[in-house]
Structures are given as C-alpha cells and as structure tokens.
Amino acid sequence: MLLGRLLLFTLTSSVSYIGTLFIILVCSAFSYRQYVPHIVFVCLSLSYLSFTTRAASLELYSPFIQMAFLVVLLWLLFRFHFFHAFIMGVTGIICFGVLDPGVAFFFMLAGYEVVQFSVQMHVVGVLSGLLGLAVSAIISKKNWGFSFIREEERVKVNLRERNSLLLVSAIGLGIIGLFAGYFFVLYINNPTSVLFTVIVALVSTVLLLYLSGERERQEYESKRRKFWIGK
C-alpha cells in the first residue's frame, strides 16, 4: 500500500517538478535538452523527498527542505555557480508556489477539498506541471530568458554589487512570505489562505524577475563599455 502511494505520488509530482525545472532553465536561457538525465534525477529525488517529509508530518518544512536540496543539485549536478544556483532554485520553488496553489485555489472554489495524498492533490500536481510546461514554452518562444547566468561553476560574481544585494534581499523576503503563506494553507486551508500564498509568491516572482532584468541590463552596459574602450 505504501509502495503504491509512493509510486503514484512520484509519478504525479514529477510532472510538477518537470514544469518547474523547465521554467528555471528557460528563464536562464538554457535548453532543457542537454539536461534531460539531470532533470529525471532531480524530479525523482525531489518527489521522494517531498513524500518522505509529508509522511513524517514535516509538511510545513517540506518546500524549504526541497528548496535547499534543489539549490545544492543545481550547484553540484548542473555545475552552476552557487550564487546562480541559489537564484535559480529559490525562484523555481517560488514559481511553483504560484502554480500549484493557484490550481488548488480554483479546485477549492469549485467545492473540492485538496488534502495530503488525495486524488485532488495528484490532479492539481499534474495540472500545475502542465501549466508550468506551457509557461516555459512561451518564455522560450519569446526568448525572454536572462543570459547573465552562465554554464560555468567558477564564473566571477561580485556579491557586494547593489543588484546582487537586492536579489539576495528579495529572495529572503520571498522565502519568509512563502513560509507564512504555506503555514496558513496548512493550518487554515481555505480559499483565502491559498489565494494569499499565490499573491505572495507572485509578487516575489515578479520582483525577482525585475531584479534579474536589471542585472541583465547592467551586464550588457558593462560589456558595451568594455567594447568601446577596447576600440
């Protein structure tokens, strides 16, 4: 029985993680094709981690344990610089905090109760994953990714730059807001608490994307100045 629940949970939650990872990669202007084995491993690992933490009644901390684990995997497995892995991992989980509760919100408005390991929870996971894939396809088609994140573990990152500090601050506020929202979802579990979580995650995502865009613009201006100085 437990094995069956684990297999079903792994199957449905993996769809959610695939959507999340695709968003992470296309937002960083990377193609998912070269990372297919990495994606499979990450999805299976996060699904198992999510299942075990929920089964151990640690569901309040589950998203943040997964967030930390995802950052480490992006750093050591994908070989991104740790700062870039940190940005990508946290942004990905916060985006997931928009999609998954967003779909759950409409289920609750329709009168369905979304609880741990229920059929509704599995359906929400699959739908949010498919929505994530659709969003990533749009981002990829429009070429909206940021190129300042590179496929180099030893790239130089100045953490004292104003934009880097703002990014870290925004990430910290996003994590705090997501924790508060997730707490309300678990212990109040009504459409209002879910909507609050979605709004907090959405605002955090928009802020992170805006600051990433500013960092992209600064790097472009810096490269252009170096080009003209070299000439």
Q: pLDDT (tens digit, 9 = 90+) per residue, 211-231?
A: 777 776 776 566 556 555 555
Nearest-5° Cα angle at 68, 78 to 162: 85
Structure confidence at residue 71 (pLDDT)? 92
Question: Span 132-150, mean pLDDT?
Answer: 79
Nearest-5° Cα angle at 134, 19 to 84: 45
The Cα–Cα gap between 52 and 18 comes to 19
Over residues 166-178, the pLDDT tens digits come to 777 877 877 887 7
Structure confidence at residue 217 (pLDDT)? 73
* Phi-psi label, residue 143: left if phi above 0, alpha if psi -120 to 50, beta otherwise: left
Over residues 93-139, the pLDDT tens digits come to 888 878 888 888 888 888 888 888 888 889 999 999 999 999 888 88
Least confident range from 78-82, 89-93, 97-101, 143-147: namely 143-147
**Residue 230: count of CB within 10 angstroms of its CB:** 6
The Cα–Cα gap between 147 and 156 comes to 15
The Cα–Cα gap between 195 and 109 comes to 11
**Residue 50: count of CB within 10 angstroms of its CB:** 22
